[in-house]
């Protein structure tokens, strides 16, 4: 910038002002300097600006990146979340610094203006650790603690599926999933509560993985035990698909004998045979909201937790 100033025969502060479109400089000078900067290939030194402004215009997104047998950040869905975040932040001139929990000790995170935590659901300890950084922070997940949390309404999801089953006259529903995960616990809670209102108590089949194989396995163990059931609420679409396949193999028809509902409404769900009923979450919108809240907090506006509605998509199962 100093060089630019010398070449143009003005002071560097004038260059600075010109390049940031300050109305303080004459329009003519401003345009001349911008033109010159462009010609000379001038590149702003962002570190210097960050130092002076005490802002990095960067938000750190911290994801859980465990190996893939559990629900991880690298499932397709949570990633749409990241897409929403990125889009919203970019639109406001902010950048996304992507980190894992391990990488979060790296220096760059401390330079961030704010923090978004994804997929930390079950680790309150991690959340608290990042809270200590004293940065504006928003967490994706189930509400209920002292932080600003954005999440989709898992309880409502469970509730909707319960009502759906009841309407269909199902009396012996099963829930498949891992209730240790806070978000899934919410689904279970909504499910159980809504059913209780109709005097029904569902069965819980605990399965930790979100795979097709796990869904099949769940149905097999259920049939082996000889427990009667006529509806399955699986907390992921893959689990649901596995369940349907196993049920067919075992001679039970879907949806004739058993109704099945999945969760997430992945694109494949609609083209599954038979087309899978599922609960849809708007991840993109969730990402946008997360981003909006951090930005607001960075600008010292108070924010609070918020829950996004979900939608039960009834297809043929």
Partner DNA sequence: TCCGTGCATGATATCGATATCATACGCAAC
Partner DNA sequence: GTTGCGTATGATATCGATATCATGCACGGA
Can you tell me the distance from the alpha carbon of 93 to that of 49, in angstroms, rounded to the nearest whole number? 14
How would DSSP label each residue in 164-219?
A: HHHHTT---EEEEE-TTSHHHHHHHHHHHHHHHTTT---EEEE----SHHHHHHHH
Residue 57 interacting with DNA (CB under 7 A) = no
Minimum Å distance from CB 108 to DNA? 14
How would DSSP label each residue in 52-115?
A: HHT---EEEEEE----TTS--TTSHHHHHHHHHHHHHHHHTT-EEEEEETGGGGSHHHHT-SEE
Residue 274 preceded by cis peptide, ω within 30:
yes
Residue 108 interacting with a copy of itself (CB under 8 A) = yes
Please pick, from the candidates 39, 41, 52, 167, the single residue that binds DNA as defined by CB under 7 A: 52
Can you tell me the distance from the alpha carbon of 206 to that of 276, in angstroms, rounded to the nearest whole number? 21
Can you tell me the distance from the alpha carbon of 85 to that of 278, in angstroms, rounded to the nearest whole number? 24
Residue 53 interacting with DNA (CB under 7 A) = yes
Please pick, from the candidates 6, 11, 128, 273, the single residue that binds DNA as defined by CB under 7 A: 11
Residue 99 interacting with a copy of itself (CB under 8 A) = yes
Stretch that binds DNA, among 41-49, 123-131, 169-177, 234-242 (CB under 7 A): 41-49
Minimum Å distance from CB 267 to a copy of itself? 7
Residue 46 interacting with a copy of itself (CB under 8 A) = yes
- 38 exposed, middle or buried (CB, 10 Å; 0-12, 13-18, 19+)? exposed
Instruction: Map the footprint of a copy of itself across residues 236-275, applying CB under 8 A.
Output: 238, 242, 245, 267-268, 271, 273
- Angle at alpha carbon of residue 201, lines to 199 and 206, rounded to 5°: 165
Please pick, from the candidates 13, 40, 51, 227, the single residue that binds a copy of itself as defined by CB under 8 A: 51
Residue 14 interacting with DNA (CB under 7 A) = yes
Residue 40 interacting with a copy of itself (CB under 8 A) = no
- Give the total of residues touching DNA (CB under 7 A): 27
Please pick, from the candidates 75, 230, 285, 306, the single residue that binds a copy of itself as defined by CB under 8 A: 75
Residue with tokens 């001679």: 251
20 binds, among a copy of itself, DNA, none (CB under 5 to 8 A by kind): DNA
The answer to whether residues 45 and 76 touch, using CB atoms and an 8 Å cutoff, is no
Question: Tokens in use for 38?
Answer: 């462009």
Residue 255 preceded by cis peptide, ω within 30:
yes
In the bound state with a copy of itself, the residue whose beta carbon lies nearer, of 67 and 228, is 67
In the bound state with DNA, the residue whose beta carbon lies nearer, of 32 and 172, is 32
Minimum Å distance from CB 88 to DNA? 24
In the bound state with DNA, the residue whose beta carbon lies nearer, of 38 and 52, is 52
Q: How many residues does the chain have?
A: 317
Distances in whole angstroms, Cα of residue 244 to Cα of each of 158, 160, 181, 278: 19, 20, 24, 13
Please pick, from the candidates 95, 123, 131, 296, the single residue that binds a copy of itself as defined by CB under 8 A: 95
Residue 45 interacting with a copy of itself (CB under 8 A) = yes
Q: Which residues bind DNA (CB under 7 A)?
A: 1-2, 9-14, 16-17, 19-20, 23-27, 29, 43-45, 48-49, 51-54
Q: Which residues bind a copy of itself (CB under 8 A)?
A: 43-51, 54, 56-58, 61, 65, 68, 74-76, 79-80, 82-83, 86-87, 89-90, 93-100, 102-103, 106-111, 133, 211-213, 238, 242, 245, 267-268, 271, 273
């Amino acid at each position: 910038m100093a060089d630019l100033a010398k070449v143009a025969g003005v002071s560097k502060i004038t260059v600075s002002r010109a390049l940031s479109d300050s109305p303080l400089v004459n329009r003519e000078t401003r345009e001349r300097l911008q033109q010159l900067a462009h010609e000379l290939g001038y590149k702003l030194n962002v570190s210097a600006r960050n130092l002076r402004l005490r802002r990095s215009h960067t938000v750190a997104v911290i994801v859980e990146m465990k190996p893939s047998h559990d629900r991880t950040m690298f499932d397709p869905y949570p990633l749409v979340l990241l897409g929403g975040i990125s889009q919203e932040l970019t639109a406001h001139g902010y950048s996304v610094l992507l980190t894992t929990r391990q990488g979060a000790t790296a220096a760059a995170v401390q330079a961030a203006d704010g923090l978004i935590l994804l997929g930390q659901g079950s680790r309150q300890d991690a959340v608290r650790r990042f809270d200590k950084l004293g940065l504006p922070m928003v967490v994706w997940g189930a509400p209920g603690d002292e932080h600003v949390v954005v999440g989709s309404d898992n309880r409502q999801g469970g509730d909707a599926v319960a009502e759906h089953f009841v309407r269909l006259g199902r009396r012996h529903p099963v829930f498949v999933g891992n209730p240790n995960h806070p978000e899934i616990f919410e689904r279970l809670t909504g499910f159980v509560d809504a059913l209780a209102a109709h005097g029904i108590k569902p069965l819980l089949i605990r399965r930790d993985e979100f795979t097709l194989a796990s869904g099949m396995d769940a149905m097999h163990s259920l049939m082996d035990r000889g427990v009667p059931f006529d509806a399955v609420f699986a907390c992921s679409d893959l689990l649901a698909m596995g369940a349907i396949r196993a049920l067919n193999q075992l001679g039970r028809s879907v949806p004739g004998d058993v109704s099945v509902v999945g969760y997430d409404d992945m694109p494949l769900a609609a083209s599954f045979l038979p087309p899978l009923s599922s609960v849809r979450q708007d991840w993109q919108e969730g990402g946008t909201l997360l981003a909006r809240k951090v930005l607001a907090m960075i600008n010292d506006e108070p924010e609070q937790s918020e829950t996004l509605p979900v939608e039960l998509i009834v297809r043929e199962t």
